């Protein structure tokens, strides 16, 4: 008897990006065929929210989130708490962000990034939806801000595409947050990152592609897509000493716990 394909979720992708052109039907179908039965597509500039919402509306397996990416924070109008709360009323809007801090290329806008991040945190606190955080070369400030705001009022959070240091991982995990494995965790030179994931509690691990970026082997260097979540998931299963089906089931439960609105939508569908 043939075993069913284990179900997993791509918790972070960018299906509105031009890399996918007119192939969305094929991309979504390939994902579902691979067992990736849910995808969260992320809006990084709020002016693009109608387009991203339209994708979620058009494809049953797709949910969405919206925010201002930290690298765009100085270029875009500052998001308001009211604006984010209003967007969150859509039934398939399941997270706040991505937001965060990125000092790699845009350290000169650090103050604006922090202001934007705190507004997004307030929206997560107010709506109960998880915060989706991008962090690069800003570990100390990120840990400080997330901790300050959590102590003022708790909220849920995923450190998306986590590739920062062990210190930020510990700070996030201590707050009850989640770490998301992207294709970076499958890169041959990412042993230190894999060790950070392996030391984390299994019930705090999510999967993602960040497609169209960061395709895992054997597709590295090519356009990433949600179907490739399975390659990262296989690396994760090996890290935790589980077979693929068990690891898939555990990450599904983790996603359902954090992205509770997506889980409830599926139950109601």
| 69 annotated as ligand-binding | no
Outline where DSSP puts E strands in the chain: 8-13, 36-43, 62-66, 93-102, 131-136, 157-159, 178-181, 205-207
Distances (CA, A) of 127 to 70, 88, 130: 21, 7, 9
- Looking up tokens 């989640």, which residue turns up? 178
CA distances (Å), 189 to each of 56, 131, 198, 206, in order?
35, 29, 16, 21
Residue carrying structure tokens 């307030």 = 122
CA atoms of 190 and 244, how far apart (whole Å) = 20
CB-based contact 184:163 (threshold 8 Å): yes
Find out whether 231 is annotated in a ligand binding site. no
Is 12 annotated for ligand binding?
yes
Q: Binding residue per annotation — 90?
A: no
Instruction: Report the C-alpha gap between 133 and 117 in whole angstroms.
Output: 9
19 annotated as belonging to a binding site for a ligand: no
- Binding residues for a divalent metal cation are 12, 14, 98, 134, 160, 210
- Binding residues are 12, 14, 98, 134, 160, 210
């Amino acid at each position: 008897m043939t075993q069913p394909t284990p179900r997993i979720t791509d918790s972070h992708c960018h299906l509105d990006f031009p890399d996918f052109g007119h192939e969305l039907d094929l991309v979504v179908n390939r994902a579902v065929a691979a067992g990736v039965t849910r995808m969260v597509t992320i809006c990084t500039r709020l002016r693009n929210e109608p387009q991203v919402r339209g994708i979620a509306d058009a494809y049953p397996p797709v949910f969405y989130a919206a925010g201002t990416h930290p690298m765009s924070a100085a270029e875009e109008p500052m998001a308001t708490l009211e604006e984010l709360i209003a967007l969150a009323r859509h039934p398939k809007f399941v997270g706040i962000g991505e937001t965060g801090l990125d000092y790699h290329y845009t350290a000169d806008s650090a103050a604006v990034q922090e202001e934007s991040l705190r507004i997004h945190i307030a929206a997560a606190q107010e709506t109960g939806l998880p915060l989706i955080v991008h962090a690069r070369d800003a570990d100390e400030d990120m840990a400080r801000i997330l901790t300050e705001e959590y102590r003022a009022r708790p909220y849920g959070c995923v450190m998306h595409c986590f590739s920062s240091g062990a210190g930020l991982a510990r700070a996030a995990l201590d707050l009850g947050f989640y770490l998301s494995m992207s294709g970076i965790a499958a890169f041959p030179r990412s042993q230190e990152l894999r060790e950070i994931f392996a030391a984390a509690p299994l019930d705090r691990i999510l999967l993602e592609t960040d497609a169209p970026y960061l395709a895992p082997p054997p597709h590295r260097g090519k356009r990433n897509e949600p179907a490739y979540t399975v390659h990262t998931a296989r690396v994760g299963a090996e890290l935790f000493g589980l077979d693929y089906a068990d690891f898939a089931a555990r990450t599904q439960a983790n996603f359902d716990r954090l992205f509770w609105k997506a889980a409830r939508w599926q139950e109601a569908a």
